[in-house]
Structure 1
Amino acid sequence: MLVIGLMSGTSYDAVDAAAAELRLLLDGTLLLKPLGMVSTPYDEELREALAGALPPAAVPLARVCLLDTRIGQAFAAAAVRADRELCGGRAELVVSHGQTVYHWVDGGRVHGTLQLGQPAWIAEATGLPVVADLRPRDVAAGGQGAPLVSLVDLLWLRGRPGTPVALNLGGIANLTAPDGTAFDTGPGCALLDAAVREFTGGRLAYDVDGALAARGRPHGALLDELLAEPYYALPAPKTTGKELFHAGYWRAPADLSAEDALATLTRLTARTVADAVRGVAATEVIASGGGTRNPVLMRMLGDLLPELPVRVSDEVGLPAAAKEAYAFAVLGFLTAHGLPATAPTATGARHPSILGSLTPGRDGLRLPPPAPGPPVRLRIE
């Protein structure tokens, strides 16, 4: 089946559309052949509207409706482009993660989660069935609704020697260990990106190549203060988001330079990730996500974990920039085949769940026959 996975993460800068050919073999091997990824930036008006609607902002329902529509249209445009450029117009299914705007966490329990991006726009533009709104079913089953990509990580890492850990450095960082332990470690690039926008007056959206942080030095007292955040001491499974780690989460001392502030926040991400990796006794780290393009962050992480190889997922066959989009393509493929797509050990749910809601395509909803059983491993072709 040719599947397009659509993803926009907590950095909310673009819609990534990855196309994959997926086949489930009788022995339980799920074959994934990456066909490529196209990334379509949000236009500036939509990006500003989205930034202004994220926590802790109070948002009228009219703004929610506008964002749900405009994000759905942006996802639809990305899906059309991916089908044309990567699938030759032969795609059979679209899977949309949507744009997370709120993750309702109280007392360590997730009570709800909201992703915007109305899938009807995607189905109308592509003519294809769409699997969307994947997270709420896991939450309804008592889970955290994240990290959902952990199932893909578990299947993908199975068979590698030792204790390999999959690390995603998005706006929020998360990891998955082979025993099924998975959780958000804390901020990935979220605080970094917010600080860059503030220090540059919006001229830059992120610290390109870590250049600003490279010119600074971590501020010890500020770093200690940030590391005292109670979230880090919570047991797994746990999830977080910009409800906690938003632009107003911290305030720099008046005399702190932009470069030193960014060096401090980069160190915060590296330190919290390294602490989490050591906590699961990892023997190898395989990283993906936008943070892998920040050489200063990757160097700090390597310095804090000198005993471990820290690899980018491209080295083992899965493009780091597109990994989450491919992962959601897999989750939607499982849904279409009537298979559960969660790992309860990772999310804390009571049981595995078939995820998402289905929007029919132009020719109605014609799903493949249910598969005889769930996959036991993932192989990248």
Structure 2
Amino acid sequence: MSAEGIYIGLMSGTSLDGIDVVAVRFSPEFELICSHSFELPEEVRSQILAICSPGDNEIDRMGLLDQTLAKLFADAALELIDKHGLDKDEIAAIGSHGQTIRHRPESAFTLQIGNPSLIAEHTGITTVADFRPRDMAAGGEGAPLVPAFHKALFRCTNKPRIILNIGGMANITWLPADSNEKVLGYDTGPGNVLMDSWIARHLNKNYDAHGNWAATGTADELLVRQMLSLPYFSQPAPKSTGREQFNMAWLEAEIARCNSPVSHQDIQATLLELTARSIADQIQLFNRDTNPEVYVCGGGSHNDTLLNRLSTLLPDNTIKTTQALNLHPDWVEAAAFGWLAKQTLNNLPGNLPDVTGAKGERILGAIYPA
């Protein structure tokens, strides 16, 4: 089966900064047709945050949120279609990542909600979703999945590259110039998630714009080193992580264990340093014969303080955003799930076993016909 046409990609990530939606085409070559960011209502955002931790009445709360999110995902897709005058008959499918509320690769369990049957019903468009479980069934981590898209779109035979995605979590994709070398990718640790949680608690803001608040503080080196001693950071790939590990309860325990007074802004600076160091430590592992170009995407690409710190920690690497590769950093992940939907409908694999640890390539996702 060949399925050409326009694909809509839907992404709502760990940062919960909204629903990113794009329309893309892959034939004869990749084209970003249009994009849109759909804001999550604050009440829904709060419900997602609450259900990401164990609590009472979880199944009922999850069931209701599953429907609410599906309708929001459908609305985001329809708003993009209406706003840009797309012909629905040209749209092959919607690829929906869903909203992750649990990711426990050590138990071969992952859960994304946002009922794809409802998305298909409300939009009248075939929807492809539930991408991660098939990889896990084959022994993989189920994440990260975007390196396969990075390989398809960004690999260069002249120069090795690293694609750095800084969302709620941060992950890197190693794209060697030599096609005989393996493409690798994994979560390095927290991206924005701890910084977002800390500023939400103390300044009632969803995120630290440009890292301005972190820039007013000074990182506590003892606390940074203590947090970096977490086994996850030295664990070999394949590996993936999420809010299950990097959350406010963990942060509070680390601050208490450090047992020294640190101001709120210094904690924010410390969290930025944790993100920067955990990323830079992993990129340094790839600075072998030649230093790869680093291209940043995700919400963290707007954090100037973080990017400046990465440039300081990685003086031998050129650091730019994926805009330099003709794809705006805000839309890379949503485009990836459009690509994954295309792979599924064309009976092509969507995972990279060297990245996820799966036994082999697998066709990912489930198809919900219009």
* TM superposition score normalised by structure 2: 0.92
Contact between 2:154 and 2:325, CA under 8 Å: does it hold in 1?
A: no
Matched, 1:320 2:323: no
Match of 1:64 in 2: 62
Match of 1:268 in 2: 274
- Determine which structure has the larger helix proportion and give its number: 2
Aligned AA (2:191): G
Contact between 2:218 and 2:265, CA under 8 Å: does it hold in 1?
A: yes
Aligned AA (1:345): D
Q: Secondary structure at the match of 1:92?
A: strand
Aligned pair count reads: 350
Structure 1 portions without partners, runs of 5+: 26-30, 362-381
Counterpart Cα distance in 2 of 1:157 and 1:76: 29
Counterpart Cα distance in 1 of 2:161 and 2:62: 40
Runs of 4+ in structure 1 deviating by more than 4 angstroms, as ranges, are 56-59
Matched, 1:300 2:304: no
Aligned AA (1:216): G
Counterpart Cα distance in 1 of 2:21 and 2:142: 22
Match of 2:10 in 1: 6
Matched, 1:196 2:193: no
Shift of the alpha carbon at 1:220? 1.2
Counterpart Cα distance in 1 of 2:305 and 2:328: 20
Match of 1:52 in 2: 50
Shift of the alpha carbon at 1:60? 2.0
Match of 2:115 in 1: 118
Query: Residues 237-294 of structure 1: CA distance to partner in whole angstroms, max 9, x if unpaired?
Result: 1001100001211124673222111111001100000001011235211110000100
Structure 2 portions without partners, runs of 5+: 176-181
Counterpart Cα distance in 2 of 1:150 and 1:296: 26
Counterpart Cα distance in 2 of 1:289 and 1:233: 24
Residues 255 and 59 (structure 1), Cα distance of their counterparts in 2 relative to 1, 3 Å cut: farther
Residue 359 of structure 1, aligned match among 343, 347, 368: 368
Report matched runs for 1:342-381 at 5 Å: 342-361=351-370
* TM superposition score normalised by structure 1: 0.89
- Alignment RMSD (CA, Å): 1.4
Match of 2:296 in 1: 287
Report matched runs for 1:334-349 at 5 Å: 334-349=343-358
Q: Secondary structure at the match of 2:16?
A: coil
Match of 1:163 in 2: 160
Q: Secondary structure at the match of 2:105?
A: strand
What percentage of aligned pairs have identical amino acids? 37
Counterpart Cα distance in 2 of 1:174 and 1:118: 26
Match of 2:178 in 1: none
Residues 194 and 339 (structure 1), Cα distance of their counterparts in 2 relative to 1, 3 Å cut: same
Contact between 1:4 and 1:95, CA under 8 Å: does it hold in 2?
A: yes
Aligned AA (1:182): G
Query: Residues 54-73 of structure 1: CA distance to partner in whole angstroms, max 9, x if unpaired?
Result: 12545521111011111111
Q: Which stretch of the first structure deviates more once superposed, 158-167 or 293-302?
A: 158-167
Counterpart Cα distance in 2 of 1:228 and 1:211: 27
Matched, 1:182 2:185: yes
Counterpart Cα distance in 1 of 2:155 and 2:17: 32
Q: Secondary structure at the match of 2:69?
A: helix
Counterpart Cα distance in 2 of 1:244 and 1:156: 31
Match of 2:242 in 1: 241
Aligned AA (1:65): G
Match of 1:229 in 2: 230
Residue 134 of structure 1, aligned match among 122, 125, 131: 131
Counterpart Cα distance in 2 of 1:145 and 1:286: 23
Shift of the alpha carbon at 1:87? 5.2
Counterpart Cα distance in 2 of 1:154 and 1:57: 39
Contact between 1:55 and 1:246, CA under 8 Å: does it hold in 2?
A: no
Contact between 1:69 and 1:118, CA under 8 Å: does it hold in 2?
A: yes
Q: Which stretch of the first structure deviates more once superposed, 343-352 or 55-64?
A: 55-64
Q: Which stretch of the first structure deviates more once superposed, 276-285 or 70-79?
A: 276-285
Q: Secondary structure at the match of 2:249?
A: coil
Contact between 1:35 and 1:86, CA under 8 Å: does it hold in 2?
A: no
Contact between 1:288 and 1:321, CA under 8 Å: does it hold in 2?
A: yes
Counterpart Cα distance in 2 of 1:55 and 1:32: 38
Counterpart Cα distance in 2 of 1:180 and 1:152: 11
Aligned AA (1:354): I
